[in-house]
Structure 1
């Protein structure tokens, strides 16, 4: 299975099966690690073809559907590189990661390979402490968190924006604000329904900006809420042509590319919107997560709780010109993280 002429790289690209944000951030991470002379061993345990359609897999990638087989292959490989899974983590218990996950990571380092940890974020930083994290993560060749709150709670590593900021058209190719007739809205299915004051704030923002309210669902479970929102706001629910992540990605990017702004409590709805030139307005029952992720890109000015949304409308026009510079800087930071990954992998090839 293994050749001394190829560098064996192991990565778990699994995420929530119906969540576009999960496949987008992992796809960007995966592409950042690509390079000549590497063989990628990809774990996709329990993932549907809809989810997999959003990943940039190559014909010679080795796909695994069982973690045990994937771990065994890593243990057999000479000097493997382990790409620790990116995205949100929620450590439980006294040690993260647990022994079953940390053992192959330690072996990769001890055998002359490398561990890359890039793009991690804690669900709730206040509930984590530095002592919770296994030493193996501190020994990684690259350790980067996607927000400062997560890094500060862990007590080690550095910070770069979420991988999803890497995608989307160049800012110079965005439609200008006068050619963006839509105001996109999307909300999580598992949070409290906003009150009438919030709904009126959205309507007022649309009127103020001469835009038309549309709703989308980048997560399939959000679709019923998107339908309800469209009805409550007098807008239109724009349904994707299918649940395949490749189709869903093209659909939401098409909508956001015509939107002046996006109002959402979905972190990756806001991020993907920003990459398409729609100003991210974060509005949530609990905005701590979206605030942290957008702050890493300098885009947290219009983020707050439901009752703050009415304050953001009058500020939007003056903020619009800052979106492109913030996106350019965020992409430079993400690209820099990619260069560090490439250098770390070359060092052990």
Structure 2
């Protein structure tokens, strides 16, 4: 075969956002040719989110995957797609950065390449940013899912998070009416929201005649979601060990019935938007990552302070409900940009 394509889909098994965003990229750039895919220790529950061809080769060992890519790059055109999602500039990431750079250098000799698309830096950015900078400069293509990440490294463009490509299509979303739920999905592994924050949910739900609903897209959020459900009543969907496809379908159906989805998790907000709900970025602390990543989609002003609101929370929610068409148009444009990126990457691989 004239070329080989290596792809990374491994992610956190108990975090639905990891599989959704990686699947968005996987589907956007894959061709009919067999892939060499790093899946790590991910079990069938996580991998149910992906459709692999019968000729695709799955790798459990990261070292084995990199060695196979390096060997391939010495004898044929080889393309390697790095992991999308969050990049952490810590000591543990250095070997991976070195391996990516090495494959980038060897693959370039036969007109192959290494591609980093749709990555965002974690804040605080960490003390080991230099290997990531070297990695980015060696890569054939680099894009970030927010401007701050791009500015820290100084290389590449800004493109939407790959998760925007999943979910209901634009035409159906434009015809869908707002739902009657107010859905909440918050981080349970950090500070929980205050009684004042929680009380605002009840106020808004009652004023706007919405059904409180509580969701956990990540296993560590189960306890908080259940606590909120016990406090307010309403429906609750917890992480129960089901495969990612089953849980995703259940949550997408629920988000399609939601007028608002409130979360401090980025991919709760993106999944909600791709099902027609108005995303509200809010939690015990300001969800900085969500705000900067959604800004790259052309979406701003969706964070509402529910801890100490300076005006009526109900008015703030009503104002955002009035922007629903604007938000769906921004999603439509973000999908066009993401598809354009996917097409550009596919063209590079197939040329």
Stretch moving more, 139-148 or 298-307: 298-307
Deviations 1:175-209 (A, max 9, x none): 86755111111011112111121112111222233
Who is 2:84 aligned against? 86
Contact between 1:216 and 1:238, CA under 8 Å: does it hold in 2?
A: yes
Native 8 Å contact 1:10 1:40 kept in 2: yes
Q: Deviations over 1:296-324 (max 9, x none)?
A: 11223112555266373242232222121
CA distance in 2, matches of 1:296, 1:304: 19
Structure 1 unaligned blocks of 5 or more = none
* 1:1-349 paired onto structure 2 within 5 Å: 3-4=1-2, 7-36=3-32, 38-77=33-72, 78-93=76-91, 98-124=97-123, 127=126, 131-174=130-173, 178=177, 180-239=179-238, 243-284=242-283, 285-304=285-304, 306-307=306-307, 310=313, 312-347=316-351
Give the 3-state SS of the residue equivalent to 1:58 in structure 2: coil
- The DSSP-based 3-state class of the residue aligned with 1:54 is coil
Q: How far is the alpha carbon of 1:270 from its aligned partner? A: 0.4
Q: Which moved more, 1:170-179 or 1:21-30?
A: 170-179
Over 3 Å counting, the alpha-carbon distance change for 1:312 and 1:90 in structure 2 is farther
Name the Cα RMSD after superposition. 2.3
The Cα of 1:95 is off from its aligned counterpart by 8.7
Q: CA deviation at 1:126?
A: 5.2
Kept in 2, the 8 Å contact 1:125–1:150? The answer is no
Which digits, 9 at most, give the CA deviation of each residue in 1:9-65, with x for residues without a partner? Answer: 1112111111110000101111111123x2210011111111111122222211111
More deviation, 270-279/194-203: 194-203
How far apart are the structure 2 equivalents of 1:293 and 1:208? 30
Residue 286 (structure 1) shift: 3.5
| Alignment partners' CA distance in 1, 2:337 and 2:294 | 14
Tell me the TM-score normalized by structure 1: 0.90
Post-superposition, which runs of at least 4 consecutive aligned residues in structure 1 deviate over 4 A?
93-97, 125-132, 175-179, 239-242
Kindly indicate whether the alpha-carbon contact (under 8 Å) linking 1:119 and 1:144 is maintained by their aligned counterparts in 2: yes
Instruction: Determine the C-alpha separation between the residues in 1 that align with 2:19 and 2:149.
Output: 21
Q: CA deviation at 1:86?
A: 0.6
Distance change (3 Å), C-alpha of 1:288 and 1:227: same
Aligned with 1:307: secondary structure?
A: coil
**How many residues are treated as equivalent by the alignment?**
342
Q: Contact 1:199/1:233 (CA < 8 Å) preserved in 2?
A: no
Residue 237 of structure 1 aligns to a residue whose secondary structure is strand
Q: Which moved more, 1:192-201 or 1:121-130?
A: 121-130
Offset of residue 279 of structure 1: 0.6
How far is the alpha carbon of 1:242 from its aligned partner? Answer: 5.1
